[in-house]
Structure 1
């Protein structure tokens, strides 16, 4: 009997991140007797901050966040997918991408991961308490009445800034230079501050999971105006109350566009001794058949557009995919250069201080621009 092939994978600890890849590994093992994929998991904060090169030294497969791509693209720790995936297979997945999910993992001429989960900042609300809002002015009024809860922990506080600047048609830069022009930056911070001035300090320690847990468990809050889609909270029985996800509230006149893209992708370590097998697994998990079937049945939030368009997939989530599709299709792709991840931490702290009222908007914008320029110090100005 041939030796058992054991692949090691790392994902994140939410059921949305862990359950579907474990189920996929189990099914893949049935299709490939003698192959086992063992998954470890880390917290959401660890997922957003742990350097990919550290993971690639220990694991064959990794579920990653696209902003990390720039820091590893030229360091030889990830396997370019086109090394073992055919051009046709990659083109098919690109055509089945929700918005820019597939593109978000393409950098410097290589595809570094395949989207298995699509997400961006959308609106989450308790439909049993009040209707959804359409405009940012309505968000401000809801906040004045104490009905708004908001994830303001890093990096989400910075994502809010990104989303509003892009929504008014003047998005932040993704290449070397100033991050944002002073007028637009000031306007976005003032609009964010109009909501945050009514927020509890505890929100600065809350990520989307903490916010959605609170929104779904009590009747104090009605609305999270910008929060990454977590479809599980729309499922029957996941929490005490079901949450409706719909397109983001708008500040500009361009509709619900410009939301800061999130989601996750399946990447492969360059150190794996089974690159063909890992590639086959990644292609299969990202494919429509798995995504609209086994993946969603195991708590997954798909990244494949065929799953998003499936009425049965939507029915279980109060039509979360249908109702946020426009926001996802027009989402904004944040910077991915080598050095960006450090800026994301620094920029989040600057925006948080501005929203707390500790620094004036003009000073905050100047600091953001200074730190953004400095993030290109290693020479990557792409």
Structure 2
């Protein structure tokens, strides 16, 4: 078997002429299992649950559940034929079990009419056996359908790679079952009309994987809500406004804006500026917005108008970023180690790596325990040298 698998790998990227060989090999493997199964069936009754445990490595509980869809099987010929094909793809025991649990009816398919032709077509697309195996595990119910080829031909270029497609499939199980022509393509076209290109469509897949598979009328409604936030199509912030609109309906969006105005004492104009500049602020919980606004205004002493023009500050954690970095900046300025006009806003926007390089390491001689104290604040501690008196408004140069 190992030598045979190596031979198959060598054929992975050869021209279409190799397809006939793969058909014959897969047909032979599955037929061999089917013949053996028929002989076994003639000598003993077929117990589906026991078979699933012994051959596909399901747990007894999984086997009981899966067997409800396989009670009509009288012999193991079909599931053995499927097992032969999947095993020769390189699926491990855990993968075989996962496929059988996800799609028990896979074990009943006619391998010569469905599974074998689909696998051959996938190989002709240039997929390796290991890639096909991962695709089978990700969605065994759709792999044997004829539409799998056209959908891969569309999704892989859209997302940039087969790996990106697999990741997207894990995040959205409806990807291969959605109507490509009437749902997915119209949604992608609308997103592109809004200035969201393929790169950013792929980026949207993580937080909102349903955007391309939802009903087109629902996506159009989301786009309308995003525009209603004052973020025009084509702007760099539109995709963030769309994300907010995909999680919140019109009434909830309006309520969140009102909450921001009340909590941060913003005017209508200031709220509009903040939302247009950073729509992601609308996705924060009310509890987080309360804690962050209280810290920025009461402890740091920032004015509401200042925050409205820099709303990204509201997305950060008080405990993990805002307070620890505030203590560092405050300490450095009070000890003459940092220019008085250095912005606290800049200090909290940079990455952790950049913050360490610009605000901690340059002062290791003048303040040798600064790195240690900063690390303590990240753990929720407040070293004595960092304890500050109650600041007055504007106490920190911003």
Q: Which has the higher helix share?
A: 2
- Alignment TM-score, normalising by the size of structure 1: 0.21
TM-score by length of 2: 0.21
